[in-house]
């Protein structure tokens, strides 16, 4: 009788141990046995990798898109509003030799345009349009002058001192440059563009 009980007890213990060993011991992708919970730790790892990839992709895409958009929106293809319209025409030097005058501050950079407000006239003596060259030209009592008119109808003018004309570009039809001069009203300067308005001032 006692022997029968021992046999039953041994069988019960065997069944219990077998049930306890039913957990998932299959190694995961990293070779680490499972914990019996049936969850795939490799799947969690893969999910993290996906999250990192998405984050990196979003970050890169946003950065590139913002950079391109900002670059395009900052581009300025419009005209430079700081360039003052002017016209260039033939004039006469004190000895009736040829000269070139720049009327800076006219309404438009086109021949025949006149000023509707204050303007400056820069005159280079003893030269013609064909002989003007790119560079800096200091104008004094022996080479030219600058005159300031406070309005188109002004009967008085201010003579400039320390006048400098800088020619950046010149060809047979137009020029671009800058002038600087000091008048009684104060120091003045401007970048300007002028077409060449060929005329016959009747010098000589």
Task: State the Cα–Cα distance between residues 11 and 1, nearest whole angstrom.
Answer: 16
DSSP 108-124: SSSTT---SS-EEEEEE
Residue 145 lies in a domain: yes
Residue 20 lies in a domain: no
Over range 76-101, report the average pLDDT: 84
What's the whole-number average pLDDT of the chain? 76
pLDDT at 8: 54
Over range 6-11, report the average pLDDT: 50
Instruction: Supply angle C-alpha 151, 152, 153, rounded to 5.
Output: 90
Convert the pLDDT of each residue in 63-74 to its tens digit.
444 444 444 434
Q: How confident is the model at residue 116 (pLDDT cuts 50, 70, 90)?
A: very high
Residue 55 lies in a domain: no
Whether 30 has a pLDDT exceeding 50, the answer reads no
Whether 76 has a pLDDT exceeding 80, the answer reads no
Whether 29 has a pLDDT exceeding 60, the answer reads no
Q: How many helices (H) and strands (E) does the chain have?
A: 2, 9
Three-state secondary-structure class, residue 3: helix
Whether 162 has a pLDDT exceeding 80, the answer reads yes
Residue 56 lies in a domain: no
Number of domains in the chain: 1
Convert the pLDDT of each residue in 190-201 to its tens digit.
999 999 998 878
Q: How are the residues of the chain apportioned to helix, strand and coil, as percentages rounded to the nearest 5?
A: 25, 35, 40
**Ramachandran bin of 155, using left for φ above 0, alpha for ψ from -120 to 50, beta for the remaining angles:** alpha
Whether 24 has a pLDDT exceeding 60, the answer reads no
Residue 155 lies in a domain: yes
Residue 103: which domain range? 83-197
């Amino acid at each position: 009788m006692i022997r029968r009980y021992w046999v039953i007890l041994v069988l019960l213990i065997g069944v219990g141990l077998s049930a306890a060993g039913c957990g998932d011991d299959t190694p995961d992708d990293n070779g680490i046995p499972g914990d019996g919970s049936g969850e795939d730790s490799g799947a969690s790892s893969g999910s993290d990798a996906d999250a990192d990839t998405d984050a990196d992709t979003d970050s890169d895409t946003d950065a590139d898109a913002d950079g391109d958009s900002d670059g395009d929106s900052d581009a300025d293809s419009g005209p430079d509003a700081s360039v003052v319209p002017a016209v260039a025409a033939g004039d006469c030097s004190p000895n009736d030799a040829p000269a070139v005058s720049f009327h800076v501050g006219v309404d438009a950079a086109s021949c025949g345009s006149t000023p509707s407000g204050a303007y400056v006239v820069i005159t280079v003596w003893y030269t013609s349009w064909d002989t003007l060259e790119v560079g800096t030209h200091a104008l004094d009592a022996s080479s030219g002058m600058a005159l300031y008119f406070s309005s188109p109808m002004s009967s008085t003018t201010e003579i400039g001192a320390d006048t400098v004309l800088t020619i950046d570009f010149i060809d047979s039809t137009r020029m671009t440059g800058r002038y600087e001069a000091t008048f009684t009203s104060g120091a003045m300067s401007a970048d300007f563009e002028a077409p060449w308005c060929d005329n016959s001032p009747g010098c000589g």
